[in-house]
A and B are shown apart, each in its own frame.
Chain A
Amino acid sequence: MSGETTSLPDAFGVTHDEFESNPFQDPNRFERRVPPCQIVIFGANGDLTKRKLLPALYRLAYERRLPAAFSVIGNSRTEMSDDDFRAKMKESVQKFLEDSPFEEALWASFARNIHYVAGDLQDPKMYSALKAKLDEFDGSTHAEGNVLFYLSTQPSYYASTVAQIGAAGLQHGPEAHPKAWRRLVVEKPFGHDLGSAAELNEAIHKVFEEKEVYRIDHYLGKETVQNILAFRFGNGIFEPLWNRRYVNNVQITAAESIGVEGRGAYYQEAGTLRDMIQNHLLQVMATVAMEPAAMFESTAVRDERAKLLRSIKTMKPAEVPLYSVAGQYGKAKVGGEDVPGFREEEGVDPNSPTDTYAAACFYIDNWRWAGVPFYIRSGKRLPKRVTDIAIQFNNAPLSVFGGAQIDGGASEGTVRPNLLILRIQPEEGISLRFLSKHPGSGMRLRSVSMDFSYGSSFGVRSPSAYETLLVDAMSGDATLYTRQDMVEASWRAVQPILDDWAGKKFEFPNYAAGTWGPKASDEMLARQGHVWRNS
């Protein structure tokens, strides 16, 4: 499927575009082909390249998903030879490669196509050197002039780097390859508020067209997040229940048990609301709540996601304290170990007002979801690492088991609502909680869980989010990338909270490491008659 095209699938499941252009296509059996291309990584000496990008590319090479004419060109300020860079990357791949063996022979052939250009992002000479490197590889391997620029630098350099790419004319392919594409992948954070996101979009659009811009949100590349769409729109039984009539509330949790792990300096500038909720979790919420797209195709899917994000009700200033909670962890003993508070972490201002926990309640102004609260929470130093979505259904309209004992209910006779849980990590799967009769005499009810685990149905390893997203970007499929209007809509949703928090002095820390966050968060739900589920 190509990036922005719209086409209907034929009886063979092949879109008309593909069918007309290639009568031999067989999507049932043929792997999607990645065209010859080069990837330029700006910020190649950074953590993301080492932990995610290179391991993902190596794994793609391991699975023979990369084209024969393929190269990676890294850039950072540090002076290094190609060999030095390769050695560094080898070390990283060995360290961060997950669920896969490292093969020396494969690395040797993969590394031959890794190159390095040292230089400052503001220095036009660096771009000339980069152009020479691109042309050299292109001339020797028939790479067809295709280049994917990957911005993995500090966000403050995004706009100027794009401007320099434009000044060097690198956004256009060589004349010898009129069909060559040039694409730009932008890592989060995409701006630090609505205004800066719009400014950045404007700066990027001076050089690249929107269809050439791939804003990455790695949550959308996770298999389990993609599975939400399969679950909702591939099955007939859930979608009829997927609305305000049957759903009582939705809770999205992304909890981490670790602290800032050496990223204190970055984190205190961002905070949880910006780092997690504005991007990842609002995208997840959009995936859970969006309308079905007419077809699984980039523009159609992204249109529906964007529509949903635009439908999020904007909080009025007076509503912000009622529907949002900020938190910051303090020191505690967790599992017998002393854990520092956020303000004691390395690189963090001892008076930092940064939120390491954020919770918010959003409403969606459309017919399907009007009045249904979507609670989103995320935080560091919570009891465990878990990301899941819980859809809590309304209680049965009438309890015929009025006098029955219900195990696990808040009190005798309390009905426990049905709960559908979509687990994103670490134990990917889906479970449905419902009531069942406890064996024995009398009518004692008990909550039981019906479980689907990815591992029990699919023995194979799932590709990492970065593997999926890199292949998509190289193949021109933007379905799992965010678009300008989506980014701006999600900033618009959190902007009132950011504005309110910016003017407030919080009594931080307000939760102890190893707990489920500040009390105020529980109170926010209690005001609406709900409780956070224990993820």
Chain B
Amino acid sequence: MIRAENVLKELRQLWADLGKSETTGGGVLRACAMTLIVADEYHADETRQNAGEILGELMHEHPSRAIVIRQQPGAELEARVFAQCWMPFGKRQQICCEQIEITVAPERMREVPNSVLALMAPDLPVVLWCRGPQWFDAVGYNELLALADKAIFDSTLLAEPARGLARLRVLRSTGSRVADLAWTRLTIWREMIAQAWSDGLLRDVTSGEYHMRVMHPGSLRTAGACYLTAWLEKSLTSRPVEIAFSDDESIAGICSVRFESAHEHVDIAVNHRTIELWSKGNSVRLPEPPGTEYDLMREELGILDRDQRFEAALSRAADLAAHSH
């Protein structure tokens, strides 16, 4: 049983205790810029990073009241509160964010959204992070979604990206502000292409007739490949982009992008943990970002307004994914 008043009282007590126990003399600063609801999943998978650890890192840049909902078979419906604190480099003042962890058995999920509603930090943006594919079909999921100003998913967690992209498109069409970490992973690719354009490296190849090709690993179109293809089409006034598969399944997401005219071509490809651009015999290389959930969420939480580039690409990407078969 969760009584919101009691949980909030515990939070107040937590702050009082933190203040009393503070010994550095610099004080404790409560930091909060949003409510971050984390719809987590119970995982036997030990290799997956714990949500609490990721939140601990995220809090430095995006301080929030985090409400972590963990579905766990047989669990009691209960909440506990604690603080995530850190001391910025060279400062004496501790900065702390509050975290509320709710455990719940899947069959009782329907009771959770109302509790979350009462526990959200007032008047601040609310972000929902669905950290697992089962949430799409979970009881209470729509109610949670209705609480959020922005909902973040990761369509790569689904066995079939087409399903995820289609769901996101539907959500978007109903007015929800959505994000997909599969899109966030493309930033490095998109930035490299934008940079190549600024540097004039694509000038010659795109001056006449040309075409583009996005290669993805395996026979099933990846969400990343669909997004990148859609983005290229939208950016270059609907020029067709070929989407093809590569046999190299050691790479996730995207293998390469090629801009090709009759006389020359520019390639951007993954190469030993770097993204490398080849043009006229010269290459530019950027380290492939680690792409951890922390990195991706850090970027997404920085964008609370509509992400129109993503939204413009989503609909076409969903079509491309649907035609994967």
Interface residues of A (CB under 8 A from B): 11-13, 21-26, 28-30, 33, 98-101, 453, 455-461
CB distance B89 to A100 under 8 Å?
A: yes
Asked if B225 lies at the interface with its beta carbon under 8 angstroms from chain A, I say no
Contact: B31 with A457, CB < 8 Å? yes
| B31/A11 in contact, CB under 8 A | no
Besides A29-B191, A457-B33, A459-B62, 16 new A-B residue pairs in contact (Cβ under 8 A), listed by A number: A22-B194, A24-B235, A25-B194, A26-B194, A26-B309, A33-B195, A99-B88, A100-B89, A101-B89, A455-B29, A456-B63, A457-B63, A458-B61, A459-B31, A459-B86, A461-B89
B236: chain A residues at CB < 8 Å are 23
Interface mask (B21-40 → A, CB under 8 Å = 1, otherwise 0): 00000000111110000000
Interface hub of A21, A30, A455, A460 (most chain B Cβ within 10 A): A455
Partner pick for B303 among A22, A29, A456, A460, CB 8 A cutoff: A29
List A contacts of B62 (CB < 8 A): 459
- In the complex, which of the residues B90, B197, B299, B309 has the most CB atoms of chain A within 10 Å of its own CB atom? B309
When the two chains form their complex, are residues B93 and A33 in contact, meaning their CB atoms are under 8 A apart?
A: no
Which chain A residues lie closer than 8 Å to B90 at the CB level? 98-100
| B234 CB to nearest chain A CB (Å) | 9
**Cβ A459 vs Cβ B88 within 8 A:** yes
In the assembled complex, which residues on chain B have CB atoms less than 8 Å from the CB atom of A26? 190-191, 194, 309
Contact partners of A458 in chain B: CB under 8 A: 33, 61, 63
Alpha-carbon gap, A412 to B95, bound state (A) = 40
28 contacts between A and B (CB under 8 A): A11-B308, A12-B309, A13-B308, A21-B198, A23-B236, A24-B193, A24-B197, A26-B194, A28-B303, A29-B299, A29-B303, A30-B194, A33-B195, A33-B198, A99-B90, A99-B91, A100-B89, A453-B29, A455-B93, A455-B95, A456-B30, A456-B32, A456-B95, A457-B63, A458-B33, A458-B63, A459-B88, A460-B61
Chain A residues within 8 Å of B86, by CB: 459
Secondary structure class of chain B's binding surface, majority of residues: mixed
Report, as a range, how many residues of chain B touch the other chain. Answer: 20 to 34
Q: Mark B72-98, 1 if CB is under 8 A from A, else 0.
A: 000000000000001011110101000
Minimum Cβ distance to chain A for residue B86 (Å): 8
Nearest CB in chain A: distance from B210 CB, A = 14
Instruction: Report A-chain residues with C-beta under 8 Å of the C-beta of B193.
Output: 24
CB proximity of A33 to chain B, nearest CB, Å: 7
Which positions in B face A, CB cutoff 8 Å? 29-33, 59-63, 86, 88-91, 93, 95, 187, 190-191, 193-195, 197-198, 235-237, 299, 303, 305, 307-309
Q: Chain A at the B interface: mostly helix, strand, loop or mixed? A: loop
On whether the beta carbons of A28 and B309 are closer than 8 Å, the reply is yes
Whole-angstrom CA separation of A99 from B187 in the bound complex: 28
Question: Which A residues touch B59, using CB under 8 A?
Answer: 459
Distance, CA A140 to CA B317, complexed state (A) = 43
Q: Nearest chain A CB to B223's CB is how many angstroms away?
A: 17
Query: What's the minimum C-beta distance from A240 to chain B, rounded to whole angstroms?
Result: 21
Query: What residues of B have a CB within 8 angstroms of the CB of A11 in the complex?
Result: 308
On chain B, the residues within 8 Å of A460 by CB distance are 60-61
- In the assembled complex, the Cα of A460 lies from the Cα of B31 at a distance in Å of 11
> How far is it, in angstroms, between the C-alpha of A25 and the C-alpha of B196 when the chains are bound?
11
The docked-state distance in angstroms from the alpha carbon of A457 to that of B31 is: 5
Report the Cα distance A457→B195, complex, angstroms.
Answer: 32
Q: A24 near B63 (CB under 8 angstroms)?
A: no
Judge whether A23 and B197 touch: CB under 8 Å: yes
Q: In the complex, what residues of B have CB within 8 A of residue A456's CB?
A: 29-32, 63, 95
Within the complex, what minimum Cβ distance (angstroms) separates A68 from chain B? 9
Residues of chain B with a CB closer than 8 A to A29's CB: 187, 190-191, 299, 303
A457 touches B95 (CB 8 A): no
